[in-house]
Amino acid sequence: METASFRFSTKYITTNKFNGTNDGRVPVVLDWAVRDIKSCDVAKQNKTGTYACLSSNSKCVNSSNDQGYMCNCTNGYEGNPYLPGGCKDINECDHNPCPSDGVCRNIAGEYRCSCRVGKKYAKESNTCNPNAGFIIGLTMGLFGLMVIIMISVFWGQMSIQKRKLNKVKQEYFREHGGLLLFDRMRSEKGLSFNVFSEAELRHATDNFDISRILGKGGHGTVYKGIIKSSMPVAVKRCGIVDQRQKKEFGKEMLILSQINHKNVVKLLGCCLEVEVPILVYEFVRNGTLFELIHGKNQALQISFSTLLRIAHEAAEGLSFLHSYASPPIIHGDVKTSNILLDDNYMAKVSDFGASILAPSDKEQFVTMVQGTCGYLDPEYMQTCQLTDKSDVYSFGVILLEILTGQLPLKLEGTEKPRSLSLIFLSAMRENNLEDVLVSQVKGQASMELLRGLADLAKKCLEMCGDNRPSMKDVADELNRLRKLSLHPWVQLEMEMDKENLLGGESTSGYEIELSGYPMDQSENHPINPGSSYYAR
C-alpha cells in the first residue's frame, strides 16, 4: 500500500474491520519491471525482438530493486515508451519557460529562447542580458569619445584639486612664517633644523597610527616616528593655535630650534604646510618624573637625592629657556609629566615647543588659559598675563610633589582642601611641615635639608609674581641644597637611617632601584618598559 495513505489502528486486530476512508481501501503501489531480462545491456543485445522499449524517443533504465529493466521517455517527451511512437514531443512553450521579455520556440525534444535585438539570452540565469558585443560594435565611436572626455575631465579636476591643495599648503606655510625660516636656513647653513612635509611625517608615523601614540594632552597628541630609516623621533600634532601664535610661529621656531641644552628636549624640526603646525622632537625613552613619583609600578623606589638632582636639572633647563632669548621663552605648562628622563635618568624639559615668547605689550597678552590644573599660577588667572614667574610657581608645585609624594590636585574628599599648594602653605603657617612630608623623604634626608627645600617651594608659591625668585635663583638654591645633602655630617645622619637604602652608588652620581625588573648592565640603570610622554 501507499504508506502516506495508511494509518494503523488496533481495531483492525480486535474487530477484523477497516474503519478508514473509502471503506478501508487505500491506493496500491505496483513496483514492477521486465524481469525476464537481467539488464538494459542484455535487452538491447537480444536478437529475438523482445526488447520492450519500442518508442523511438524512449530509454532503458535498470531496475533498482531486482534484476530486469523499465522504459521511460527521454527528456522533452512524454507518453508510453512501450508502444511504437508512444513518446510524444512536449511543447514547453505552452508554459513559457523563457524570460518575460524573451521569445520561446519549440523544437523536437526541447525548446529555444531568444531575445530582442540588443540583448542576448543567458541560459544559466534564464535572463535576457544586454548584448555587449552588439552594443560595443554599435556605439564604439561614441563610447570612445565619452571615455576621452571623462578622462580629460577627471585629470582636469585632479589637477585643479592638486593646485588648490598646494595653494592651501603654501598659504599655511606662509602664514606660519615658513618663508622666514627658509631664508634663515639658507643664510645659516649650520642651522640644524628641518622643515618636514606632511607626507614625510605621515610616512614616519604610519599615517599617525593609533599604535604609535606616546601620549595625549589638551594641547595635542604625540606619536613615535622613525625618520631617516632608523632615527626615532617624537612627532607632536598640536591642538589649536591662536592668531598671534600663527603670526609669530616661524620667528619662535627659529629661536626654539637653536636651543641646545642638556636639560632641554631638542626641537628637531616642524611641518608648516598644515593648518596647525606639527613639531618634531628628539625621542626620550625612559619615562617622566611624574612616573617616578606617582607611577603605577609601586615597586620602583627612587632615592631622595636622585629626585633632588632631577629637580635641579629641570630648574637649570627652565632657567636656560628664560635667559636664552629676549623676551624670554616661557614654557607655560611646567609639570612633572613634562620633565622627561633619558637613558641615564637625566632630566629633560619637554613640550616647550608650544611655548610663547613673553609678550612685549598688553595687546599681545594671551587670554586663553594655559597650563594644567594644580600647577596654574593664580596671578595668571587674574591678569591673563603669562610671565616667567608663572613657570616658577608651577615649578614650586613640582617641589611639593617631591616632598609630599602627593598629586597637585586631590579629586576626592570634601572636608580637606583639594589643592596641594594650599595644604602645604597651611602646614608651613602652623609649623607642621613634618605632617605633610612623605615618610620615604623623611627617612632619607635631614630636616635641615627638607626645611630648606620647603622654604624654596614656599617662595615659588608666592601669590605675587614679583615676590617669587627667578628660575636661575631656584636652580642655584637647589644646587646649594644638593651640596648640603652630600656634606659629611649630613650624609652620616642619613646613612644611620637607611644603610645605603638603594644599594650602592651609580657612576652618574645618584642611586636608583627597580624591584622586579632587570637591570641594564651596560648602562647601569633599570630597564623601564614604559614610554615617555611628551603631550601636556
Residues acting as catalytic residues: 333
Report which secondary-structure segment, H or E, holds 231.
Answer: strand 231-238
The residues, any chain, with a CB within 8 Å of residue 279's CB and separated by 6 or more, are 235, 236, 238, 267, 269, 270, 353, 354
Residue type at position 397: V
**For the packed helices 132-175 and 178-187, what is the interaxial angle rounded to 10 degrees?**
70
Q: Per this entry, what is the length of the chain?
A: 536
Task: Enumerate the β-bridge partners of residue 512.
Answer: 302
Largest pairwise CA distance in the chain: 134
Q: How many CA atoms lie within 13 A of 417 on its CB side?
A: 12
Report the distance separating Cα 376 and Cα 397, nearest Å.
9
Query: If you ran DSSP here, which 8-state letter would residue 321 be given?
Result: H
- Lookup: cell for 465: 609674581
21 CA to centre of own chain: 76
533 and 333 Cβ atoms separated by less than 8 Å? no
Known binding residue 123? Answer is no
- For 207, phi then psi, to 5°, come to 60, 40
344 and 525 Cβ atoms separated by less than 8 Å? yes
Percent of residues in the chain assigned helix, strand, coil, to nearest 5: 40, 20, 40
Q: Whose grid coordinates read 511504437?
A: 84
Pairing, β 87-89 against β 77-79 = antiparallel
355 and 330 Cβ atoms separated by less than 8 Å? yes
267 CA to centre of own chain: 24
The residues, any chain, with a CB within 8 Å of residue 363's CB and separated by 6 or more, are none
Residue type at position 160: I
Distances (CA, A) of 399 to 100, 329, 336, 446: 88, 22, 10, 16
Residue positions forming the annotated binding site for ATP: 236
Q: Which residues are annotated as a binding site?
A: 236
